[in-house]
Amino acid sequence: MPTLVLRGELDFWSRPEDLRALEVELTNAPTVETVTIPDGTHYLFNDRPERGRDRFIRKALSFIRT
């Protein structure tokens, strides 16, 4: 199954190296797309629009629709 991994740039929990590790470890996924949302926090889905929520929603919907 195609996989999308999203993280916020300001996320205190997931680091850039975690994103790279997931890309390597998801060997059964035909495609892996990783995205870092600028100024986003760990709570992208629940945060203010200017902290990444709108970008998170747009990216997730775009990925689902393709």
Q: Residue 50 sits in which domain range?
A: 3-65
Distance CA(61)–CA(10), nearest Å, equals 22
Beta strand 3-8 with 32-37 is parallel
Q: How many domains does the chain have?
A: 1
pTM of the entire predicted model: 0.83
Task: Dump pLDDT digits (tens) for 12-62.
Answer: 999 999 999 999 999 999 999 999 999 999 998 888 888 889 999 999 999
Q: List Cβ neighbours of 25 (8 Å cut-off, separation of 6 or more).
A: none
